[in-house]
């Protein structure tokens, strides 16, 4: 299996609920290497640019407003099969549909406020990591 990069974002609800450490512990326990992480305050412009692929969808405006509602924490991840394995770890977009034991099932309130973002393809993983981090900021961790 190929080594991939994936971007996680601990969303503003995760930070507000003081769950950042708890979610990072799940991520590390699942075997992901953390290449970098930081606290960021998105604005409607920067959040809108990150989620530009969803522009025009009915939830876009509320998504962008929510992502700018408080600080969030982008995390650059690396692992074999990182994208699919991370999506398995976090569970379905809507916590009601997420499997038992997944991060969204355990901690999320709704489809909109769902604690964590995960890249949806290896190509987007690289693009999304590069949105928040320069190559210089990415540390080969183990
Ligand atoms: P995320 O993985 O960050 O990617 C896009 C986000 O849009 C998604 O998680 C959800 O939090 C949010 N969202 C809100 N409403 C919907 C919806 N109806 N369908 C898909 N995503 C939604």
Strands (E) located in the chain: 3-10, 33-37, 73-80, 116-118
In a domain, 141, yes or no: no
Q: What is the CATH number of the domain that holds 97?
A: 3.30.70.141
Pairing relationship of beta strands 3-10 and 33-37 according to DSSP bridges: unpaired
In a domain, 104, yes or no: yes
Segment 66-115, tens digit of pLDDT: 999 999 999 999 999 999 999 999 999 999 999 999 999 999 999 999 99
Task: Tell me what pLDDT residue 140 has.
Answer: 84
Closest protein CA for atom 18 of ligand 1: 59
Asked if the model's pLDDT at residue 122 lies above 80, the reply is yes
Closest protein CA for atom 4 of ligand 1: 117
Whole domain around residue 51: which residue ranges?
3-134
Active-site positions?
117
Closest protein CA for atom 2 of ligand 1: 117
Closest protein CA for atom 12 of ligand 1: 112
Task: Tell me what pLDDT residue 141 has.
Answer: 63
Q: What is the mean pLDDT of residues 20-38?
A: 98
Residue 95 CA: distances (Å) to CA of 13, 39, 127: 14, 24, 26
Task: Tell me what pLDDT residue 36 has.
Answer: 98
Q: Could you tell me which of 88, 3, 9 has the C-alpha nearest to residue 41? A: 9
What's the distance, Cα to Cα, between the start and end of the chain in Å?
Answer: 18
Residues with CB under 6 A from ligand 1: 54, 59, 63, 93, 111-112, 114, 117-118
Q: Would the CA dihedral through 30, 104, 138, 121 be positive or negative?
A: positive
Task: Tell me what pLDDT residue 142 has.
Answer: 58
Asked if the model's pLDDT at residue 38 lies above 90, the reply is yes
In a domain, 142, yes or no: no
In a domain, 140, yes or no: no
In a domain, 129, yes or no: yes
In a domain, 139, yes or no: no
Strand partners, 117: 9
Asked if the model's pLDDT at residue 41 lies above 80, the reply is yes
Separation of 140 CA from ligand 1 center, angstroms? 30
Separation of 41 CA from ligand 1 center, angstroms? 19
- Prediction pTM value: 0.97
What is the position in ligand 1's atom list of the atom closest to the CA of 116?
3
Number of domains composing the chain: 1
Q: Please count the CA atoms within 13 angstroms of the CA of 88 that sit on its side-chain side.
A: 8
Separation of 59 CA from ligand 1 center, angstroms? 7
């Amino acid at each position: 299996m190929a080594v991939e990069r994936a971007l996680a974002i601990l969303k503003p609800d995760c930070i507000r609920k003081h769950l950042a450490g708890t979610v990072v512990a799940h991520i590390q326990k699942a075997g992901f290497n953390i290449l970098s992480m930081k606290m960021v305050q998105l604005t409607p412009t920067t959040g809108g640019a990150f989620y530009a692929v969803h522009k025009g969808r009915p939830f876009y405006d509320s998504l962008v407003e929510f992502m700018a509602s408080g600080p969030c924490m982008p995390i650059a991840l690396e692992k074999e099969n990182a994208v699919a394995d991370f999506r398995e770890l976090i569970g379905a977009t809507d916590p009601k549909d997420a499997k038992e034991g997944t991060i969204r099932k355990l901690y999320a309130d709704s489809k909109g406020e769902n604690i964590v973002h995960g890249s949806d393809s290896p190509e987007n993983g690289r693009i999304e990591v590069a949105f928040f981090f320069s190559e210089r900021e990415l540390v080969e961790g183990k």
